[in-house]
Every structure is written in structure tokens, then in C-alpha cells.
Amino acid sequence: MRYVPAIVIGRTVRTLARLRKPGGGSAVPGLVVNKVAPGYLATTLNSFRDGLVIVSGSSGKSTTTKMLVAVLRAHGRSVFTNPSTANISQGLTSALLERADLQGRIHDDIAVLEMDEGHGALIAAELSPRVVALTNVMVDQIDRFHDSEMVATMLTAIAARATDAVVVNADDGYLVQLASSVPAGVRVDRFGVSSAVLDAAPHGLGHARLAPERLSDPSGIVVGAVSGRTASMLIDGDEHTVGLPARGVHYATDAAAALSTARAVLGSAFDVDLAVAAVGSIPPVFGRGEVVEVRGQQVEFVLVQNPASYQLNIDTLEPGAPVLFAIGSDVRDPSYFWPVDTSRVSRVDIVSGSKAWELALQLSYDDVEIDRVETDLGRAVDDFLALPQPATGVKTIVFSADSMRRTRAHLGLTSEGEPS
Amino acid sequence: MTTTFTIAVIAPSLLNTNGDAENARVLARRAEWAGETATIVAVEVASDLPERPDAVVIGSGSDSALVPARDLLLEIQDQLRVWSTSGVPILAVGTGWELISWGVERAVGGVVEGLGILAGRGVPRRERASGDLVLSSRFGRIVGFENHARDYVGAEGSPLGRVLSGSGNGRDSSQEGVVMGDVIGTHLHGPVLAKNPALADHLLTSMFERRGLVYQRGERAASVDDYAVAARNQILTGLGLDAD
Ligand SMILES: [Zn+2]
């Protein structure tokens, strides 16, 4: 009963916030409840019947979380999970309030939280997750004040809270090291790629530190091969074909992470065929491999957020497909994209965005041919779509977050999560 | 017969945070566009060092890379010293520059001794300098980006240029960088040679001369330089300065 007053206040604030700004103000009720009942968030998150699962790491945590939730739901579990934009404590509390009864209790079986490595470490100290899953520590040069050692330290703090199991990417040198210091009584489960998959990745896996050896433990889940939107994986001695939401080794790794984590959570109730089917049902996301029909033609949109994702996306572009590249003002100084090897592209139809000239320079020094530079993104998109349909592949637009927002607005595409 | 130029880039795995090591690529491409061939040699351990490089590029890294990068530089310091006095162009950016200077005073953790090839040293500054940086220099205006947590003192004798906009070496010096012959140290990170083709071509002219050749900008370079002009003008007009 002790949270009843706080819940009532939180709901009142939520109602008031919605009256002022329909659909908005979602973090405000959380802020208020965290103030009047500072213990509510941790107490609630620690009280799920089947426990709490935390997914963290530099990249792939959203996809892994979505896949894991789908697998758990396929096994009949009701799951509380956080929308990926709201992974700070206010947002989390607000999300809990949406589902809580008047006592503040949630009637789901299990909670699966995606946590940013920074904020996650801050609130993790109060949480007792059963299972912690860590995807990777990537080369993240976008943020020089936030180096890989620091990310590894924060992930260690999150992993230290696990009561049952820590699930780690066995190809990540930092995570392998982290796993060796997990306290006695906490199991370590591993997933990774085969040496064939690693050898086929032209620029490696993007980890800040690649583990020296591939996973050999037969109890781990190994991605044996990736081809287009499917991967074959060795799970408990059997080969399984897993459907992926988009092309790329990183999606296969996310799927292996989700399957490993689901197995750790469900124990003997884990049904591998059910799990594999659930992972394969995950829809692609706009900007991450989703092919969208625009003006009567198929277009693939690819979001570039940092040099590592830039390189991965370049490496998975379909050869010969027409490409529009756009980098906007969200990238203050495009210098840090220069280590990315774009030479594989060989030809770009249009370079656009407010940083078009700098991007054109980088591409030119990789000997990429550029048909045209058009700083007006709207015009660039229109003209790109007006180009003849390619004989092979689909037209592809590669853009930074700011250019993505502008492109969506220009094409009248609805934002993520809204019904289209 | 074409001449093959060798460009050594020092410790790119440690010193390439902002793509500064890619200046080696800019020199190599422009040499190719001028009709010659070029190879880039990444020097991660001392034994990788080519015997007779035509140019050397040292990029910038995080502070955690200072000591390992300096240790590698110490192993190759004799060669670097010889090249620096015999006219081999050396471009050193940010941390890489500080490491071939007298050294780096860190806010925490004491001093990291440098090689002493260039005069001056890095000293902590109150706030990180981050933004566009424009200089007037004997290569014309130089345009780029700076992002550093240290000032540079002791370069007053021969800076790369006078600051028109930005912080540069700091401590009210109104100067940026340091130059000794064709050894250049600068805070201008990333592809400074791509955005400043005049500076690139100055270094290429030296490289070609040392091989008994005359450098002439290639046709492809000329068209790529149009992108550089547009990128520069966007930055210049954004700062309220006249376009090129
Ligand atoms: Zn970061």
C-alpha cells in the first residue's frame, strides 16, 4: 500500500500533462513519482515473478531486446519492456505507471529492460536482475569523452548485479575479460560468430577489442554463416536457420544474443524451434534495413550513427544498387568518418545534406565516383527517386539522423511507431 | 616509368581518432592523380618502418594512447630525427604533434616526455577548444576543425599561421601550429590536407623535388579541389569571413 499516494499523484500529473499537450509530457509523471517515492522504481523492477533482465552494450541492444521480448512472449510469458527512447529513470517510471495498478504493482511475469551503458550503470546499483546480457563494446569515436574503457567499466558495474547469469558476446575482448571476473554462483553464457563469418567481414566486427579466439564452448550459440536475411546457428548441437530483420552480421549476432539470453531466462522451458520462429518474426525498422515503398518504387533507408555503423552499412550495401548519401548538420565535424573505408561503393549517384561537400571530399579520396553533389536534400531525394529503376538491387539512401528526419518529412513518411 | 612514393603513417590504430591519419591517403591519391604511384605503410611496430619514406603522417589519439604511442615513437626516434632535418615532409596532428614536441603536461598524471623534434609543448587549458579554426598563412588561408584540451606554448618563433577564427595554440598567442622546414605540427584535425589543397601541394612539391620530379596537380585533383573550395566556403561564410 505504501506507493498508493505516489501512484495517484503520478497519474494525476500524467492526466494534466496530456490535457496541456496531447500525447506529450510522458517523462513528467515519472519525474514526479521519483521525487515523492524514490524507492518505487527499483522496488517495482525487482518484484517481477520471473525476475528482471537487463540488455546493455554499445550497439545492437534495441534489436536484441525486441527479439528477446518476442521469444519470451512466444513462450507465453507476459513481458514488461521499456520503449527504447525512454531508458532513463524518469521514462522508465513513467512507463511503469502506464501498466501499474493503484498499488503500483505490475502484473507481468517478467521485465526486460534495454539500458544505455551510461544511465544503466547509474540505476543498476539498486537493481537485482536475474540475467544481464551484454552485446559489445564498439569503437565509438563519435564521443571522445566516453572511451571504450569507460564503457567497459560501466558494463562491468551492470553485470555485477546479475544473480543468475551473465550473457556475453564471446568475440568482444572487453566482455571476455569482464566474464572472467563474474562472481561464483553466477553462470556465464556465451554467443559469437564462427571464424568463417569473421573472415568474410571485410572490416571485422567493429569491436573496440576483438577477442583473440572464436567461441569453442559447445554450450554457446555460434553464428556459423550469414547470407542475406538468414543466418545458420549452432544451438545445443543442432543447426538452425534463423530469419533476420535485415542483412548483416550484426543482426545475426543480435539474434544469437537474444536466443542465448532467452535460454538463460527460461531454462528447461526454452523451446528452440519456438524461439527461432519468434526471432524470425521481428519486422525490420526504418533506417535499419527496412525496404519501404515510396512513389511506387522500393527504397532501402540506411541510418549511419557513428563510424562503426557507417562501416558496417557500407560493407553490407548491395553492389551496383543506386545510392544517395546524405550527412546533415547533426554531424558537427565529419572528420571522424574519414577512417571509414568507402572504396567498396565505387560510385554514388548523389551526395547531399548540409555536409555534402565534406562527404564528397571523403568519397573522392577513396576513389569513389560521384555523379552529383546537391546540398538541397529535398531536391536530391526527388531527383534520386526520379532516376530509372536499377536492373539489380534497390535504390538505397544512406543518411545521418538529421538527414533521415528531413527525408522522412519531405516524403511524408510517418514517424516510427505510428500507424502508417 | 612511374615513381612509387611511400607514405608512412605512424600508429594509426592509436592515432586516428578524427581521421588525421587519413592525410596519408590524401598525399597518396594526389601523387597518383599526378601520374605516379603511391603506397601507404602503417607503422604499428618499429619494424614496420619503411627505410626511405617520402612523407610521414602522425595523427591524433585519446589521452590513453599517449604513452603507448610515445613508446613506439621512441623506438623510431633516430630515423624521425634524421628525416626531419633532411627535408622529408612530416605532418603531425594534435597528440601526435605534442609527442614529437618537448612533451605533454597532463592535467592529471604528470608529464609525458616527447621526442623534442619540434619546439614547444602541450599544457592544460581551462576549457576544451572545439570548433572551426581558420588561419592566415604563407599557404593562404587554412581552414579546419580543432578539438583539444591543451594549449601549445613555445611555438612563437615559427607558427603555421595566425588565427583568424578559433583558439589555435591559445594563451593569447593568436597563433596556430608550429613549422620547422617541412615538419608541421597542428591542432587542425581530420583531413586538413584534403580541405587545404595548397598545403597538400606544398608537401607534394617537396616530395617530388626530393625524387628529382616536378609536381603538377592532376586533373582529378583539380575537380576534387572544387569540393574542397565549396566545403571551405561553407565554413568561412558560416563564420562571417569572406569566401575564397
Ligand atoms: Zn558513447
B128 is in an annotated binding site: yes
d(CA B139, CA B89): 15
Per-domain boundaries in chain A: 4-281, 288-411
Architecture of domain B4-238: 3-Layer(aba) Sandwich (3.40)
Instruction: Give the whole-angstrom CA distance, residue A202 versus residue A36.
Output: 53
Is residue A15's pLDDT more than 80?
Answer: no
Report the amino acid identity of residue A231: A
Asked whether the predicted pLDDT for residue B185 surpasses 70, the reply is yes
Flag if A365 and B194 touch (Cβ within 8 Å).
yes
**What is the distance between the alpha carbons of residues A50 and B237, in angstroms, rounded to a whole number?**
60
* Of A36-40, A317-321, A341-345, B179-183, minimum mean pLDDT range: A36-40
> Which are the contacts of A382, defined by CB distance < 8 A and separation ≥ 6?
none
Ligand 1 (single-atom ion) residues, CB below 5 Å: A 140, 143, 146
Is pLDDT of A27 > 70? no
Dist. CA A135 → ligand 1 center (Å): 14
CATH numeric code, A288-411: 3.90.190.20
pLDDT reported for residue A375: 95
**C-alpha torsion A330→A82→A288→A406, nearest 10:** -40
A99/A280: higher pLDDT: A280
- Nearest CA to CA, how far is B160 from chain A (Å)? 20
Higher pLDDT among residues A225 and A154, named by residue: A225
Residue A17: per-residue pLDDT? 66
Percent of chain A with pLDDT over 90: 54
What single-letter amino acid sits at A411? Answer: L
Contact B230 A337 (CB under 8 A): no
Q: Which residues of A touch B195 (CB under 8 A)?
A: 358, 361
Alpha carbon distances (Å) from A128 to A42, A46, A111: 9, 6, 12
Residue A263 CA to residue A275 CA, distance in Å, equals 9
Provide residues of B within 8 Å CB-CB of chain A: 12, 16-22, 25-26, 29, 62, 64, 145, 147, 189-191, 194-195, 224, 227-228, 230-231, 234
**pLDDT higher than threshold 60 for residue A319:** yes
Confidence of residue A85 (pLDDT cuts 50, 70, 90): low
Across the interface, whether the CB atoms of B62 and A373 are under 8 A apart is answered no
Q: Check residue B24 and give its pLDDT.
A: 98
- Distance in angstroms (rounded) separating the CA atoms of residues A310 and A400: 9
* Predicted TM-score of the model (pTM): 0.79
Task: Say which residue, A63 or A96, is predicted with more confidence.
Answer: A63
A34 compared with A213, residue with greater pLDDT = A213
Q: Is the pLDDT of residue A141 over 60?
A: no
What is each CA distance from A277 to A73, A80, A271, in whole angstroms? 12, 21, 10
Phi, psi of A54 (to 5 degrees): -115, 130
- The pLDDT value given to residue A142: 42
Cβ-contact A10, A32 below 8 angstroms: yes
Comparing B178 with A126, the larger pLDDT belongs to: B178
CA distance A337 to chain B (A): 7
pLDDT score of A86 more than 60: no
Side chain identity, residue A330: D
pLDDT digits (tens, 9 = 90+) for B87-116: 999 999 999 999 999 999 998 889 999 999
Task: Decide if A337 touches B, using CB distance below 8 A.
Answer: yes
B189 in catalytic set: yes
pLDDT per position as a tens digit, A185-224: 999 999 999 999 999 888 888 888 899 999 988 899 999 9
Asked if pLDDT for residue A139 goes beyond 80, the answer is: no
Report how far residue B177's alpha carbon sits from residue B93's, in angstroms, rounded to the nearest whole number: 9
Candidates B148, B187, B189, B202; catalytic one: B189
How confident is the model over B131-173, as pLDDT tens digits? 999 999 999 999 999 999 999 999 888 999 999 999 999 998 9
Which residue in B has a C-alpha nearest to residue A338's C-alpha? B19
What's domain A4-281's superfamily in CATH?
Mur-like, catalytic domain (3.40.1190.10)
Tell me if B147 and A367 make a contact (CB, 8 A cut-off): no
Closest approach of B53 to chain A, Cα-based (Å) = 21
Lowest mean pLDDT among A89-103, A310-324, B55-69, B193-207: A89-103
